Structure formats: C-alpha cells, structure tokens
Amino acid sequence: MTLKSNRSLLDIDRDHLIHPVTSFRAHEARGATLLQSGKGMWLTDMDGNQLLDAFAGLWCVNVGYGQDSIVEAAAAQMRQLPYATGYFHFGCETTVRLAQKLADLSPEGLDHVYFTLGGSDAVDSAIRYIIHYFNAIGRPSKKQFIALDRGYHGSSTTGAGLTALSNFHRLFDLPHAWQHHIPSPYPYRSELTDDAAIIARSVQQLKDKVAELGADNVAAFFCEPIQGSGGVIVPPKGWLKALRDTCTELDILFVADEVITGFGRTGPLFACEEEGVTPDLMTLAKGLTAGYAPMGALLMSDKVYQGIANGAAPELAIGHGFTYSGHPVSAAVGLEVLRLYTEGGILANGRSVGRRFAAGLNAIADHPLVGDTRGRGLLGAIELVADKDSKARLDSALKIPDRLFAQGYKNGVIFRSFPDNIIGLAPALCASDEEMDEIFARIRKTLDDLL
C-alpha cells in the first residue's frame, strides 16, 4: 500500500465510517491511521510503520496477533456449522464445551453461563437476570443497582447509566433513576493514606447508600476488581473481599465485572481469584476470545440460576436473548484461546513478563511528569501531573491526552491516553522481556518529547 492510497482510504474512512470518539472532532486530531496487519506484539500500519501495541487492541488481544491455531479453529467451525441459535432449543457442541470450560475455570460455584456478544450486553443481561431472580423468589421490590464512580460497564443505554463517566450520561438523563454510584477508592487521589481506612470508607459508603435506598429495594452492587476505563484505579488488596462480604451482609448480590481483568490480565485467570472472592455473578468479554471474534459471557451462581428456574412464575419465559448469543465460531475461538492461556503457556508467560512490566512502571516513576504509577499483572497506568508534591493536574488547555497519543504513535508505541492525563497500559500476555523494555523506552521518549 502506498502513502497515497493510505491517504485516500483515510478520506473514505472519514466520509463513511463513524468512530464515535474521534469522528466528531477535527480530522487532524485523530492522530491515527489504518492498520494493516499484526504479529505478536507488533502492528503494521498502512504506511508500513511498525508499532508496539502496549494496549492489546482495546485491552483484549491478550494472546497477541497472528495466532494461526485460532484462525484454524474458527475456519473449521465455519465449515462444519457456522450458526446454531442459543436462544431456543438448539445449541452445538463447541458452545457447550466452552460453557463447561468456563464453569470449570471460574471461581467456585459460577456454574451457569449465558453468552453475549461483548461486555455491554453481558452487563445488561446481568441486570435483567437479577431482576428476574428477585421477582422469581418473591422479592420484586429489589430493583436498585449501585456501582462506583469512574466505573465502566458498557455503552448500551443501561450500561452507560451504570458507567460513571460524565460524557456517557450527558443528554440521556442518565444514570437511570434506579442506578446509583458511590465514590471510587482512587488511592492516589484519596486524602486517606492508609489502605485499611480506604477499605473501611468504601464499605461505609456502600452501607450508607443501601440504607438510603432501603435494603429491600437494592438488588446488586457492580464493580470492576480494578477500574479500567476510569483510569486504571487499583484499590488496596482486601478491598474487593471487604465489598463482597458487605454485599452478603446487606443481602444484595455482588457482581464482578471482569471484562478487562479476566483472562490473565492481572496475573491469575480472574482477578477475583487472587483476592479469594466468589461473586454471585461475573461478566466477561475481551480476553475470552482475545479480540479474534466478538463474544462476552455472564456467569451466575447456582443460587441465582435455580432461583430463576424454580421461581414463582416458571411458566413465564425469560424475555431476553440475542441472535448471536453463543455463536459457534466465537465459541470455537474462545475454546482455542483458553487452550493457549493454559496449555499454550501464555498465562505463565504473562505472569513472568508481568514482573518486567512492574519494574518498568517503577522505573518510569522518576520522570518529572509522572505523579503516580500503578498496576497489577499486565494492567497499569502512568498518571501525569504538573507538580509531583501537590499532585496538581496539568492544564487541560495543553491537550496532553491528544498530544501524548500522537507522540507515542510517532515513537512507535500505542497506549491508551485517558482524560486526566492518565496513560493506560495493557500489553498482551505473550510479550517478551525485551519487548516490554522497548515499550517503556518508547514511553519515556514520548514523555521527554512532551517536556
């Protein structure tokens, strides 16, 4: 592809393809181009530039690009049976096997799986099944939902309301009246320095919110074990367990949104695992198919499943489902991706290179622009500030997030550039130590270029 043809393709892209975050801004501000191919950690754009992907696409390509065995699994399934609805009576072996595998690998007791197309509809499905559950067990008033500020739970109207990022709410009268938020623990920006105090405060905030709404009205609390799109906010160890236990005490369901943290992103297969937490429901997507096909999943406990199944009005079918739920090709991809994580050694590699990632984050903390670095496993953030001592934010007029992304691209590294001048990092689990060092060398150069 020549430079010229790339330009004209970009013009066509601008004229016809909507990229919601960037299309409605000046074309120049997009700072990106079209991608042509990928292998391992590397992407090649249509100008032939080689880019190190430090964000695994959109925190999803956990096994890296160009994994032939996944392509073969998808092709074989397409040849044999491309479609079988999971909605009514049918199904197919591949989808059943994936459900079995997820039930086996997930935290104890999450034995029932509903497949979706991605994370947003996994969250929507959780809300709908939870409302069915409480109705079925004769507690229909439990319909209020609580989540965290800075949380991200999807882009459907329901998910966008549970999400607590203001641009998702604007114009839509969101959150819905039944959606509520409590503050994010955000340790770096908290005036509390003691982990136990941060945990105790979140617990109290949840208790206060439930008391305000009435325990008989509250259905569930949703949270990400580590908040991703809100700026990779890592709560103290023990926070997740404390919130989980509080939900049990308050008689509300605890939903872990592991769309980002699932599938080795934080080290173990699921972030809940290393915290000793078993949620009542869990939402998954991204790493489940590692970006090779669209798929999400909602896992639920036997208690919730049986509650719905044996409920007050079993003759009423659940009015919920998607044409492509449990899609055989996505399921074949998911099965092969899971095999790569476990038998293929990718999970183990992720844990090992995760130590190099932590060292990279640590080392870059000395840069004059860096106020905080944080992370777990291969999920991390670098927060830039105007002043390290006061933690003062950089002037928004400097448009740091746009400039950072564009400069990183020029330096051959792709990361997420969040508002509040936070760099989000989520490299694939297949990275080598050398590639990890190269990512941080390119990020350091990018920060130097901004000075």
Please choose, out of 119-127, 315-323, 360-368, 442-450, the segment that lies near ligand PMP by the rule CB under 6 A: 119-127
Closest-by-Cβ residue to ligand PMP is 119
Does 378 help bind ligand PMP (rule: CB under 6 A)?
no
Q: Which of 142, 150, 153, 265 binds ligand PMP (CB under 6 A)?
A: 153
Q: Pick the piece of the chain touching ligand PMP (CB under 6 A) from 15-23, 95-103, 151-159, 443-451.
A: 151-159
User: Binding segment for ligand PMP among 29-37, 149-157, 196-204, 352-360 (CB under 6 A)?
Assistant: 149-157
Where do runs of H (alpha helix) occur along 170-317?
Answer: 195-213, 239-250, 271-274, 302-309
Say what the alpha-carbon torsion angle 134, 305, 244, 352 is, to the nearest 10 degrees: -150
Q: Is 424 in the site for ligand PMP (CB under 6 A)?
A: no
Residue 441, phi then psi, degrees to nearest 5: -65, -40
Q: Between residues 262 and 354, which has the closer beta carbon with respect to ligand PMP?
A: 262
Q: Judged by CB under 6 A, which of 86, 119, 185, 371 binds ligand PMP?
A: 119
Query: Does position 408 bind ligand PMP by CB under 6 A?
Result: no
147 lies in the site for ligand PMP, by CB under 6 A:
no
Stretch that binds ligand PMP, among 92-100, 150-158, 176-184, 338-346 (CB under 6 A): 150-158
Judge if the upstream peptide bond of residue 175 is cis by omega within 30 degrees of 0. Answer: yes
Q: Of 154, 307, 334, 401, which lies in the binding site for ligand PMP, with binding defined by CB under 6 A?
A: 154
Residues in the chain: 451
Residue 401 CB, shortest distance to ligand PMP, in Å, is: 17
Interacting residues with ligand PMP between 199 and 238 (CB under 6 A)? 224, 228-229
Pick the closer one to ligand PMP by CB: 228 or 328.
228
Member of 38, 86, 107, 118 binding ligand PMP (CB under 6 A): 118
Q: Which stretch binds ligand PMP (CB under 6 A): 20-28, 118-126, 395-403, 431-439?
A: 118-126
Contact of 34 with 58, CB cutoff 8 Å: no
Q: Which is nearer to ligand PMP, 56 or 285 (CB)?
A: 285
Segments in 137-194 forming alpha helices (H): 157-162, 166-169
Task: Name all contacts of 35-42 with Cβ < 8 Å and 24+ positions apart.
Answer: 36/1, 37/65, 37/66, 38/64, 38/65, 38/66, 39/64, 39/65, 39/66, 40/64, 40/65, 40/66, 40/428, 40/430, 40/435, 41/65, 41/427, 41/428, 41/430, 41/431, 41/432, 41/435
Q: Phi, psi (5° rounding) for residue 91? A: 175, -175
| Residue 422 interacts with ligand PMP (CB under 6 A): yes or no | no
Query: Which among 355, 412, 346 has a CA at the least distance from the CA of 378?
Result: 355
Q: Specify the residue, 259 or 299, whose C-beta has the smaller distance to ligand PMP.
A: 259
Q: Taking Cα atoms as reference points, which of 289, 291, 333, 330 lies closest to residue 72?
A: 333
Among the listed residues 206, 260, 346, 347, the single contact to ligand PMP using CB under 6 A: 260
Closest approach of ligand PMP to the CB of residue 141, in Å: 27
Please give the residues from 262 up to 301 whose contact with ligand PMP meets the rule CB under 6 A.
285, 296
Shortest Å distance, C-beta 294 to ligand PMP: 8
Does residue 123 touch ligand PMP according to CB under 6 A?
yes
Amino acid at 52: L
Q: How many degrees, rounded to 5, is the angle at CA 251 between CA 127 and CA 263? A: 50
Q: How far apart are CA 58 and CA 35, in angstroms?
A: 14
CA proximity to 2, closest of 36, 50, 51, 48 = 48
- Residue 225 or 371: the one with the smaller Cβ distance to ligand PMP is 225
d(CA 287, CA 63): 8
Residue numbers at the binding site for ligand PMP (CB under 6 A): 118-120, 123, 152-155, 224, 228-229, 257, 259-260, 285, 296
